[in-house]
Structure 1
Amino acid sequence: MGYALVTGATRGIGREFASILAQHGKDVIVVARRENALKALAAQLHEQHGVHAVAVAIDLTEEDSADELFSLTQDAGYFVDTLVNNAGFWDLTGFLDSNWHRSRDLMELNMITLTHLTYLYGREMRKHHFGRILNVASVAAAFAGPNMALYYASKAFVLSFTEAVAEEVRGTGLSVTALCPGPTGTSFGVNARMEGRNFLTMVEPMSPKAVVQRGYRAMMTGRTAVYVGPVTKVGFFAARILPRRVTRAICKWANGTPGRPAF
């Protein structure tokens, strides 16, 4: 049996994915930056579920990180037949007020690294005529998001990219799924330095466990995209029927006012 590799595995959606995969007897490779937290998670998964759990501490915002991670797993003889691209972050800031280096890291992590890992592991899976890839998108994929311009754009990329590749690999034994949750109870708001009114304070967030249960079922059944939660379903419906200028204004209001420039 192959391994499942989960990025951004120490908290939130990533941690729940590692847990549900281990519950189903899957050996796991958990990936994030915080080595101590990763090792504790790997030990917990092994103790609770009896699986082989490997911790890999790596900064996936680095340009060559996908190659480094792929080489590490290949050299160790770990065949990855399940990939969950969950790692990502956002910032609540006007684009021209943002810190360019942080913005570059956001694009690298949310899009480039996700794409590169899909390419590297996807080619191996296709060669073996079996594999599953899940890319975490968002309800944000449906809109342009003033004050979170890059995050919304990155999730639109993830959804479009995933849908296209899913169609390309149909019939090969490899499936590719996009998970589009709405507001979820994770640490994203803290990482984004969100202050005051924003959409996370206006709706009740779903639990990461509930989101992951839906995403896991969709991945295992080979669905191309799954829209989780009422906010997501309403959001994608609204994006189809409302003018873009209207949805931009709604998103700008919902995202709130940036707390401070990200310098």
Structure 2
Amino acid sequence: MPRALITGASSGIGAEFARQLAPQGYDLVLTARSQDPLDHLAATLRQDQGIEVDVIPLDLTQANAPTQLYQQTSDRQLQIDLLINNAGFGDYGDFAESDRSKLLAMVQLNITALTDLTYQFLQPMRSRQSGTILNIGSIGGFQPIPYLALYAATKAFVLSFSEALWAENKDMGIKVMAICPGPTATGFNDVAGFPKTDAASPSPGLAPVEAVVSEALNAMKRDRGSAVVGGWANHLITSLPRLLPRDTLAQIIGEQFRPKAPTSD
């Protein structure tokens, strides 16, 4: 049976990838910071689907964690056929007023850990001349987003990096793809710090996580370096940089995302 490694698998998109891959015959390796939800998900999938599920709790914001993860899969002789680099988070607000440690942790997780895991797991895939790497990007990677400035920049990296690796590896039997969802019904907004009553997102509503992951897995079958998922509005949003000057687009988006002044009673 093929085996998939999913980072950020304790909730949201990562957990849904596990739930949808299990009935497709994948054994799984699940990793995230929180062990209890990983253990619960693993036990459910073992019982319901009869698959092997390994749990490796790690904090990928720590510099040595990607090597630890690769080493643990090697020590357990777990061949990874599908790597899903899903772990990541955002931070909403004025960049200059944001928490510096949170910003640097975002870069470590969204870029450095993803790069390191891609590099390490790509080596055995090249030796076998088979394997797939899905890097979870965002429609935010297609244009600058004031007040989500660093997050959007990290996802621009994911998009460019993945498309380049797709071209480098496509003739070696290896797929590399950036999956780019829009606003999705996960805990992203809470972690990013969006105010509960704030309507900063330019996209109306949140796409169901089940639909986003199903579309991503269908996209994985195609020979492309990236795929926008989560509905027609996301395709429209990612087309805007081709229609408007980038500085104009940044100003428009900035007005939509600008934190609203508190109102007095």
The two structures share one fold, judged by TM-score above 0.5 = yes
8 Å contact kept, 1:176–1:222: no
Query: Matches of 2:161 and 2:171 in 1, distance apart?
Result: 18
Structure 2 runs not aligned, ≥5 long: none
Look up the SS of the partner of 2:81 in the other structure.
strand
Structure 1 runs not aligned, ≥5 long: none
Query: Matches of 2:261 and 2:169 in 1, distance apart?
Result: 43
Query: Matches of 1:259 and 1:188 in 2, distance apart?
Result: 22
Query: Matches of 2:155 and 2:234 in 1, distance apart?
Result: 13
8 Å contact kept, 2:144–2:250: yes
Aligned to 1:107: 107
Residue identity matched to 1:220: K
Aligned-pair CA distance for 1:3: 1.6
Query: Matches of 1:25 and 1:170 in 2, distance apart?
Result: 24
8 Å contact kept, 2:60–2:113: yes
For 1:57-110, what per-residue CA distance to the aligned partner results, in whole angstroms no more than 9, with x for missing partners? Answer: 100000111001000000110010100000000011211111111111000000
Mapping 1:1-263, distance limit 5 Å:
1-195=1-195, 196-200=197-201, 203-228=204-229, 229-257=231-259
Does the C-alpha gap of structure 1 residues 259 and 153 become closer, same or farther in structure 2, counting only changes over 3 Å?
farther
8 Å contact kept, 1:83–1:134: yes
8 Å contact kept, 2:202–2:256: no
Look up the SS of the partner of 1:163 in the other structure.
helix
| Off by >3 Å, runs of 4+ in structure 1 | 198-202
Look up the SS of the partner of 1:107 in the other structure.
helix
Look up the SS of the partner of 1:127 in the other structure.
helix
8 Å contact kept, 1:133–1:219: no
For 1:117-163, what per-residue CA distance to the aligned partner results, in whole angstroms no more than 9, with x for missing partners? Answer: 11110111111111011001111011111111110000000000000
TM-score (norm 1): 0.95
CA RMSD, aligned part only?
Answer: 1.6
For 1:197-255, what per-residue CA distance to the aligned partner results, in whole angstroms no more than 9, with x for missing partners? Answer: 33448511111110111111111334321111223211111111101122111221222
8 Å contact kept, 1:80–1:121: yes
Provide the identity percentage: 36
More relative contact order in 1 or in 2 (CA 8 Å, sep 6+)?
1
Residue identity matched to 2:244: L
Residue identity matched to 1:43: A
Look up the SS of the partner of 1:220 in the other structure.
coil
Aligned-pair CA distance for 1:5: 0.2
TM-score (norm 2): 0.94
8 Å contact kept, 2:66–2:113: yes
Paired positions, count: 260
